[in-house]
Structure 1
Amino acid sequence: MSQESSSKALARELKRHAVILGSCIALMWAVHLVNQFLFAGSLNNFGIYPRNPNSLRGIILMPLLHGNFAHILSNTASFLVLGWLVLIRGLRHFIWVSLISILVSGLGIWFFGSAGIHIGASGLIFGYFGFLLLYGLFERSLPSIALSLMVMFFYGSLIWGIFPGDDPRISWEGHLFGFIGGVLAAKFLSGK
């Protein structure tokens, strides 16, 4: 493959990544804006209320719902960076890690979460974090290990988010189970 054709292939791939991540972020923001300005935040009731059978739909809807603009801004930045690092492994990895992280995070919250509403994309983001941190360990290839070490260096402090904290508005359970989902996805996708 010539230098020019490989550059064009890389540009096409980066454009595809931008469309995929941009579409996900646009959906999150569209839901947030509609929720804030048309429904005064009442769509957040479609999040997860632990052990309430009526809120099982929240497992899928939770990543789209955010409490305020600071919440969605924080999740947007982390989703963009960590989501892209997962996406460079391939679309298949991105889809599987996203689905497993959302399901494990949501079910973990539903079964074990503290009382109150749980919303936000943090479980998904912590799933990406767990996947990126441990995929190198499971796959045992030099590029994967290098990526895991890079994520540990730049995002390692996220690990503290999986432990109970002082702010009852932060769903540490969502972080913990999202992280576990990411680790399970890393094991599954490494084929080992």
Structure 2
Amino acid sequence: MTDKADPSLGSDLKAAMKRTFIPVLVPLVIMWVMFLFFMIFGNQFNRTLALEARTVSGLSGILFMPLLHGGIWHLISNTMSWLVLGGMTSMLTKRFTSVMLGLWLLSGAILWVIGTPWHPGSVGYHVGASAVIYGFAAFIITYAILARRFLAMIFGIFVAFAYGISMLMNLIPGTQGISWTGHLAGAIAGVLVAFILTKEAREARAQKKAPMAAASPAVEGKPNRRRSSSKKNDESDDGMDIDYSKYIE
């Protein structure tokens, strides 16, 4: 008799996809809703909630800036980048929500300190999800270097080649309508969050190296099994988090 409650690989994959990508999609839905408000109420809606550097009223922008966009193409462009880079980040770590919030708040706080007007003569309001998107890109590349996991390295190489040059160009001041300081703030936040997230893994890797170097050949068997188990647990920290071993007999 077959137990219908038994999980299948298909149901596990479906659950993993929901668990991995719903946290990526929710902020996007809110961005589009906020854009509808912008279309209804005009630019004053954005100006009220935007980030204005080094002003008390602009502090609210740390929370709301990534949700605001100044035009449909601005929103579409950021939507595509958010899906790609946010999706990659969510596939790399089960702690996507924590990573996203860290990038969101840290990039906003840094931008509030270093932010400049978009171009001469502007008021200096910053809107858009670009800071968090640059944070995703910097996080992926830094995480790949520090975590040394296969999927992370594949994603890191892809981001470096597909986005690297254009993102570096947008870190340079001079382009009208581009908040280059927002991009810079996001990149800084991405590097910092990656260092924080990988701290335990880096410390554990350093601790493993010392016993391995001191271990004698006579007792090498048992430590090897422990390292294999430990590595398996370490590698299971990916965002999809599927235990494929139960389907392999």
Q: TM-score higher than 0.5 here? A: yes
Structure 1's unaligned 5+ residue stretches are: none
- Among 121, 133, 147, the residue aligned to 2:129: 121
The residue aligned with 2:172 is: 163
1:27 equivalent among 16, 27, 30 = 30
Of 60, 63, 87 in structure 1, the residue corresponding to residue 63 of structure 2 is 60
* C-alpha RMSD of matched pairs (Å): 1.6
> Which residue identity does 1:182 align to in structure 2?
G
Rounded to whole Å, the distance in 2 between the matches of 1:140 and 1:91 is: 17
Q: Does 1:145 align with 2:145?
A: no
Preserved contact between residue 78 and residue 125 of structure 1 (Cα < 8 Å): yes
Question: Where in structure 2 are the equivalents of 1:1-150 lying within 5 Å?
Answer: 5-37=8-40, 39-45=41-47, 46-92=49-95, 94-115=96-117, 116-150=124-158
- Matched-pair contact (CA < 8 Å) for 2:135–2:189: yes
Q: What's the offset of the Cα at 1:137?
A: 0.7
Deviations 1:129-180 (A, max 9, x none): 000111111112233222211221222222322221321x211001001011
% identical equivalent positions: 35
Work out which of the two has the higher radius of gyration on C-alpha atoms and give 1 or 2: 2
CA distance in 2, matches of 1:181, 1:66: 21
After TM superposition, the runs of 4+ consecutive aligned structure 1 residues lying more than 4 A away are none
Instruction: Give the paired residue count.
Output: 186
Q: Whole-Å Cα distance in 2 between the matches of residues 66 and 105 of structure 1?
A: 17
Of 10-19 and 28-37, more deviation after overlay is shown by 10-19
Pair 1:182–1:44, CA change in 2 (3 A): same
CA–CA separation in structure 2 for the residues paired with 1:100 and 1:20: 14
Q: Are 1:138 and 1:187, in contact at CA under 8 Å, matched by a contact in 2?
A: yes
| CA deviation string 1:10-50 (max 9, x = no partner) | 1221133343222221110001111212x112121111111
Q: SS in structure 1 opposite 2:51? A: coil
Cα displacement (A) at 1:127 = 0.3
C-alpha distance 90-75 of structure 1, shift in aligned 2 (>3 A): same
Q: CA deviation at 1:106?
A: 1.3
Preserved CA contact (<8 Å) 1:75 1:122: yes
